[in-house]
Structures are given as C-alpha cells and as structure tokens.
Amino acid sequence: MRLLLYTGKGGVGKTTTAAATAACAAARGERVLVVSADAAHSLGDVLGERLGPEPTVVAPGFEACEVDARYVIETHWGRVRTYLVNLLRHQGIDEIVAEELALLPGADELATLVSVEDFAASGRYDLIVVDCAPTGSTLRLVTLPEVAHGGMRWLLRLQRAAAHVAEPIARGLVGVPLPKADVFAEAERLLFETLGSLRARLLSDETSVRIVVTPESMVIDEARRALTDLALFELGVDAVVLNRMLPAEALEEDFFRDWGRVQAERRAEVASVFAPLPILEAPLAEDEVRGAAALAEHGARLFGERSPSARLGGGIGLRFERGESGGWLRLPMAGRDATGLDVTRVDDELVIGVAGRRRRIALPAGFSALEVERVSMEDASLVVAFGSAAPPGGGAR
C-alpha cells in the first residue's frame, strides 16, 4: 500500500493534481482511492461526480470520496455519542446530534485521519491519494495523532484515578454520570489504535508528501515554510509539482513578456528551495482538467515514464533537533565545506549563502528565541547550532 499526501497553498491545483495522479495510476492497473480532506471539497467538481463519504467508483480501479466529519462520528463513535446523549439528557437537554459534535474544532481533521486509516487498513487499495486542505490545516492533520494521543493518555489516567477513588464522590458532587469503561475503551481503540497505526504509516516509507506550487512568490514562500514543518514532523517529501506554467507560445504574446521573465526566475527559485527533489512541471491549460479521462491524460503528461505511485525522490534530509538550551539544524549538502558558506539568521528564516546563491529555510516556532551559535560541516551535512544566549556582536555567526 502506498499513501500520497498532496499539499500546498490554496488554489495551486492540489485537487486536480491529486485526482490526476490517482486517475493515471488507475489507468496503469493499480487499485486507487482518492480522498478529499478539504472541508471546502472540490474533488467532486473536478471529477464531475457527486461524491459522498463512502468511495464512489468513477472509473475501473478508480474510486473517490469526500470526508464528512458528521458521517464519521455517526459511524465510528457509537458509544461515545451514546454517552454524550445520556449526559445531556441528564442535563435536561433532549438530544445531541452528530452535527453538533462535528462543529467542534478538530473534528474535520480527526474524521480525515480515521477515514484514511480505515481505507488504508482495508486492503482494498494499492494506492491512496489524499487531497489535503490548504497548508496550515494539513500540518494540523499530521500532528493530530500526537495531540490526540497526549490528550487520550491524560483522559485515561484521569479515568483510572476517577474510577477507583472519585467516581462515587464525583457522581454526587458533579451531579452527572461519568463515562464508563466501555466508553473509554472505544475512545482508546479509536485514538490509540487507529491513530497510532496511522502515525506509524505516515512516518514509514509507505507514505510520501508531494508539494504543489505555482510560479508565484507567495506560493513558493508558503511552500518553504511547509517544508520546515514537514521536516519537523519527519514526514518524507518525494517530489514537487510546479503547476500552471505558462507555455512557450503564450509567452510570445506581448502582454505576457514580463510574466515570462518572472516565470524563469521562479522556476530557478523552486529548484533551489527543493533541491535535490525532482520537480514535475505542468502547463497552465486553457480548460480546467475535468473528468476521469482528461485527468488520466493530465497525469500521464505530468509523470511521463514514471509511475505516479513510485517514490520519486529521496527527500531533502532537513532535520531539526532541540535540546535543553539550544537546537540544531542539519541539512545534507554533499561536496561543500563550511568555508565559503555564509549563514545568517534573518527574522524567522535562516539564510544560507553558497557560491553567490542564497537558500532560505524557515525556522520552526520553537527556534524563535534562539540565535545562531556555530556553523560546521559533519558527514557531508551542514550543521547549524543555535543557543539561547546571543554571542557578543549580535546574532550572526
């Protein structure tokens, strides 16, 4: 089983690219499912099909669905829901509906995770492609198993404490029934087992993230930040899709001459930000790519000889580590030594100057109070050490 997550800033063409990847893989004989995880679903619009939370067959070997938090709560959270219904009935409130639970923050992300893991574990697919919500939410998606895990462990400890000591007292004082063991068992199964195995899956070689960009500076800046976030959570990126490139014929038009120059600069910038990842280019098309057949063609043009589900590249290898008082950044840079490297911190970015070119790396929030202390090369990797006390003379090396 292979799991591909497509991410990127809003409007770059994630949905089209994810659907094209799935359609193309299906045309090559794989059993494929494409899942839309963006609360503002447009997968159905792109496929020209009305989709629901259960997979719909759109072509042979090609299925698609749109995650719906309400549906997941209804189908997966029977006991937890029953408990809440009882709790609220106790409070004099008639009924609680799944819709209200689905409104709570995090419900969409949780629903996506549970759905994806269920589909992945079903054995029905060779490839699952997830069309993620715009960048910010995607990150939340991959961190949620961790948060839920922490929260769950807390709840379970609380429950254990409560069950033995506090339950009888609490029932009297709080005036409501506390959840029984079966409620916790269900929550535990869902959060520990389902999310635990999804987390293992996300961190394994089975899963790759693909970043979709367009030749616009806002989009590339956003992707640079995403790269840092993905490194932080140790998710592997295997390729970048550079979408909506104006074709050569278009650039011959007078009006677009300036766009042509800008586009060439942006192409170079994308190459430098994501080196050594492979960059797949797709042209801006006159018509939006819609429907399974057109999507499969679009995918074939994008991937050429490659298999869309293959591991296309080996990752960037960017790593962040954090110790008691400082932190480290590691970035593989074969064939370089520390001399001639110019490493400076500018606001929340680290700027690495190599042979007259600058590579910018967004720093994680946890590094915001730290300054660059030392720059060295170890095992063909650039190592930047950060410390809490700024050395005399300011931040830079």
Partner 1 sequence: MRVLLHTGKGGVGKTTLALATALAAAEHGHRVCVLSTDPAHSLADALAVPVGPDMKRIADGVWAREVRAQTELDRAWTPVQAWLRALIREDADALVAEELLAFPGIEELMALRAVREAEASGAFDTCVVDCAPTGSTMRLLRFPDALRIFMTQFFEIERRGARVLRPVVRGLGGGGLVPEEEFFDAFERLYEEIDDVQRILLDGERTSARLVVNPTRVVVDETRRSFAYLSLYGVATDAVLVNRLLPEVAAGGYFKSWRAREEEELAEIERSFPVPIRRVSLRAREVIGVSALAALGQDLFGEQDPAERLHTGRPLRIRRAGGRMRLEIDLPGISKEEIDVVVKGADLHLRVRDGRRSIHLPDSLVGRDVERVRLREPTLEISFADG
Nearer to partner 1, 136 or 387 (CB): 136
Closest distance of CB 178 from partner 1, Å: 8
Q: Which of 243, 245, 279 is nearest to 259 (CA)?
A: 245
Nearer to partner 1, 247 or 394 (CB): 247
End-to-end CA distance of the chain: 46
Q: Report the chain's C-alpha Rg in angstroms.
A: 24
Q: Find the helix or strand (DSSP H, E) in which 346 lies.
A: strand 341-346
Identity (one letter) of the amino acid at 343? V
Q: Which is nearer to partner 1, 173 or 355 (CB)?
A: 173
Minimum CB–partner distance for residue 92 and partner 1 (Å): 11
Helix (H, G, I), strand (E, B) or coil at 132: coil
122 vs 217 by CB, closer to partner 1: 217
**Nearest distance from C-beta of residue 160 to partner 1, angstroms:** 8
Q: Is the Cβ of residue 84 or residue 338 nearer to partner 1 in the bound state?
A: 84
Residue pointed to by tokens 């574990």:
121
Nearer to partner 1, 139 or 187 (CB): 139
Tell me whether residue 100 or residue 281 sits nearer to partner 1 (CB atom).
Answer: 100
| CB burial string 153-180: b at 16+ within 10 A, e below | eebeeebeebbeeeeeeeeeeeeeebbe
DSSP H helical segments within 233-377, as ranges? 248-251, 257-274, 292-303
Closest separation between CB of residue 34 and partner 1, Å? 15
**What values do phi and psi take at 283, rounded to 5?**
-80, 155
234: tokens are: 């140790």
Which amino acid, one-letter code, is at 138? T
Q: Which long-range contacts (CB under 8 A, 24 or more apart) does 310-313 make?
A: 311/205, 311/208, 311/238, 312/208, 312/238, 312/239, 312/277, 312/278, 312/280, 313/237, 313/238, 313/239, 313/276, 313/277, 313/278
**Coil/strand/helix, residue 344:** strand
Q: How far is the CB of 252 from partner 1 (least distance, A)?
A: 7
Q: How far is the CB of 185 from partner 1 (least distance, A)?
A: 20
Place of tokens 């749109």: 66
Minimum distance from residue 300 beta carbon to partner 1 (Å): 21
Nearer to partner 1, 310 or 365 (CB): 365
Q: Considering the complex, what minimum distance in angstroms separates the CB of residue 147 from partner 1?
A: 5
